[in-house]
Amino acid sequence: MQISGLFNEKKTVLSMEVFPPKKTSSIETIYSTLSDLQELRPDFISVTYGAGGNAGDTLTCDIASSIKYKYGIEPLAHLTCVNYTKAEIDIILDLLQQKGIENILALRGDINPDIPPKNEFRYASELVAYIKERGGFHVSGACYPEGHIASENLIGDIHNLKRKVDAGAEHLISQLFFDNSYYYSFLEKARIAGITVPIEAGIMPVVNKAQIERMVTLCGASLPAKFTKMMQRFEHSPEALRDAGIAYAVDQMVDLMTQGVDGIHLYTMNNSLIAKRIHASIAGLISRE
Binding site for ligand FAD (CB under 6 A): 48-49, 51, 78, 80, 107-110, 123-125, 142, 148, 150-151, 157, 160, 163-164, 173, 175, 202
Name the residue nearer to ligand FAD (CB basis): 102 or 230.
102
Cα 169 to Cα 161: distance, rounded to the nearest angstrom: 9
Residue 212 or 241: the one with the smaller Cβ distance to ligand FAD is 212
Closer residue to ligand FAD (CB): 244 or 266:
266
Of 22 and 236, which has the nearer Cβ to ligand FAD? 22
Tell me how far, at minimum, the Cβ of 279 lies from ligand FAD, in Å.
20
Q: Which is nearer to ligand FAD, 40 or 107 (CB)?
A: 107
CA–CA separation, 226 and 183 (whole Å): 17
CA distance 233 to 243: 12
The C-alpha atoms of residue 59 and residue 229 are separated, in whole angstroms, by 39
3-state secondary structure 243-261: HHHHHHHHHHHHHHHHCCC
Long-range contacts of residues 85-92, Cβ cutoff 8 Å, at least 24 apart: 85/118, 85/120, 86/120, 86/121, 86/130, 88/55, 89/55, 89/121, 89/127, 89/130, 91/55, 92/55, 92/61
Minimum distance, C-beta of residue 163 to ligand FAD, in the bound complex (Å): 5
Options 9, 17, 126, 146, the catalytic residue: 17
Q: Which of residues 2 and 247 has its CB atom nearest to ligand FAD in the complex?
A: 2
What type of residue is 277?
R
The kind and range of the H/E element at 59 are helix 59-69
Quick check: helix, strand or coil at residue 112? coil
Shortest distance in whole angstroms from residue 169 CB to ligand FAD:
9
As measured in angstroms, the least distance from the Cβ of 200 to ligand FAD is 8
Report the 10 Å Cβ neighbour count for 204. 23
- Minimum separation from the CB atom of position 9 to ligand FAD (A): 22
**Shortest gap between Cβ of 123 and ligand FAD (angstroms)?**
3
User: 106 forms bridges with which residues in the sheet?
Assistant: 79
Nearest to 203 by CA among 223, 226, 179: 179
Beta bridge partners of 74: 44
Catalytic residue list contains 213: no
Which positions are annotated as active-site residues? 17
